[in-house]
Amino acid sequence: MTIENEALRSEIARSLVPDLTLEGFGSCPGKHLHGTRNGARDFQVKLDGAPTASCFHGSCIAFVEELNHELRRRIAIAESDGRKERPTLGSVAPEPRARHRAKRPAFDPAKLSKFAARCPHKITQEWLLERSPMGLMDEQGTETSELFLSELFVQGERMLVFTSQTSQGDFLYESGRGNFRLGKDPGVLPVPSALPTGSSEGVWFLSNPVTGSWLPNPNKKLPDGSEALGRRHGACITAWRHLVLESDDANESDWLACLVKLPVKIVAIYTSGGRSVHALVRLDAASKSHWDAMRDTLAHVVCALGADPAAMTAVRLSRLPGALRHGSRGKDGRLRTYPEPRMQRLLWLNPLATDTPIIESV
Ligand SMILES: [Zn+2]
């Protein structure tokens, strides 16, 4: 960015955020909607590349999005005025540019340690289990799976459960109605069934409710050009409710300390039965684009702290608490069975979670 551009962009940003500092911090236009304490560095405007304002709080997203729209519009107009005076290059193609991607900062272990060190307690799996707002048993099983699903989904909502990660859903849980075993192909009627107690690599659920029906997937074309049918793609989703935070890289004690300090609605925390601990965050977005915008805001903060950006999609599979995992697949693709099956253990359940960090609410 040239100095002239930078000055022009700052001036435009300041016309929208009057108290903007030189570092780009200022007052969030949706501050009145923040559910938790305001910090001086919550709201930031970045002016290089595609100018973007972001806020640490999620509740103000509509105001932040509107500001971004206006900021980009004004900057585009101002900068295109200047461009008219440049000499033309003749009939050449426009300059190629990298595809726009939302910024996902890389994992910074030092940043995570520093953030975790400010947690006043050492957070362990037992610490969470003892303080879970909904009481949880030490001995867990399919009752735990049922409790988890019934507390997080409302009457009539349908959830897919998987014993194979690559299937289109092996079981369906319908809140208030029960569980069903699903057929592998369209047209096969489901049959009532208990939830699975476990599977060779564990059991998963799709993190958002779905129709339960086979629907054409516009992003997956068959050789004849028609859309493949599926039960687990974006068009199947009926509520844009959850996002999964998981980390394969962060060390567990730092990661748990980080989770309890985040000002987001963590409704559940559970183990993978392997090395990692997952958190389910309630976003309650109004649409796919709203979900994506909230995800981008959150990713900006949590990816540097170790959250896996690949897990942050609305059709993510996550570990179903209360199910047993009998093994895992090595890098060579071969399944190794554990000496003892491992429980995908539910550590925390709070259907009424707010933006107040867990550490401030216990
Ligand atoms: Zn805000």
46 shares a domain with 193: no
Residues 205 and 353 in one domain: yes
Question: What is the dihedral sign for C-alpha 221, 226, 232, 234?
Answer: positive
Q: Which residues surround ligand 1, an ion (CB under 5 A)?
A: 28, 30, 55, 57, 60
- pLDDT surpasses 80 at 3: no
Categorize the per-residue pLDDT at 95 as very low, low, confident or very high, splitting at 50, 70 and 90: low
Q: Do residues 238 and 307 share a domain? A: yes
Kindly state whether residues 201 and 238 are assigned to the same domain: yes
> Do 57 and 36 touch, CB atoms closer than 8 A?
yes
Rounded to whole angstroms, the Cα distance separating 63 from 70 reads 11
The residue assigned the tokens 């001995």 is 139
* Residue (of 285, 294, 304) closest to 55 by Cα position: 294
* 188/232 same-domain check: yes
Ligand 1 centre to CA of 53 (Å) is 10
Within-domain flag for 203? yes
pLDDT in tens, 334-345: 899 999 999 999
CA of 25 to the centre of ligand 1 (A): 12
Name the domain count of the chain.
2
The first and second tokens of residue 280, run together, are 């389910």
CA of 35 to the centre of ligand 1 (A): 9
> Same domain, yes or no, for 126 and 266?
yes
Asked whether the predicted pLDDT for residue 74 surpasses 90, the reply is no
CA 55 to ligand 1 center in whole angstroms:
5
Residues 61 and 152 reside in one and the same domain: no
Express each pLDDT in 215-229 by its tens digit. 999 889 888 889 999
Helix (H, G, I), strand (E, B) or coil at 266: strand
The H or E element spanning position 319 is: strand 317-319
Residue 265 near residue 242 (C-beta atoms within 8 A): no
How far, in Å, from the CA of 62 to the mean position of ligand 1? 9
Assess whether pLDDT exceeds 60 at residue 119.
Answer: yes
DSSP-based three-state secondary structure for 167: coil
Q: What three-state secondary structure class fits 220?
A: strand
Q: Assign 251 to helix, strand or coil.
A: coil
Which residue bears the tokens 């300059």?
95
* 120 and 66 fall within a common domain: no
Please provide the DSSP assignment of 48-69 as one string: SSS-EEEES-STTHHHHHHHHH
Q: How far is the CA of 355 from the centre of ligand 1 (A)?
A: 12
User: What is the CB neighbour count within 10 angstroms for residue 96?
Assistant: 6
Span 166-192, pLDDT tens digits: 999 999 999 889 999 999 998 889 999
Whether residues 279 and 133 fall in one domain: yes
Do 62 and 134 share a domain, yes or no? no
Separation of 119 CA from ligand 1 center, angstroms?
23
Alpha helix (H) residue ranges in 214-310: 252-261, 288-302
Instruction: Tell me, yes or no, whether 88 lies in a domain.
Output: no
The tens digit of pLDDT for each residue in 219-267 reads 898 888 899 999 999 999 999 999 999 998 899 999 999 999 999 999 9
89 occurs within a structural domain: no
Ligand 1 midpoint to CA 63 (Å): 8
**100 occurs within a structural domain:** no
Distance 207 CA to ligand 1 centre (A): 26
Shared-domain flag, residues 18 and 132: no
| Structural domain that includes position 291 | 109-361
Q: Which pLDDT tens digit goes with each residue over 82-91?
A: 554 445 566 7
Q: Are residues 132 and 67 in the same domain?
A: no
Asked, for residue 95, whether it belongs to a domain, the answer is no
28 CA from centroid of ligand 1 (Å): 5
| pLDDT tens-digit readout, 282-315 | 999 999 999 999 999 999 889 999 999 989 999 9
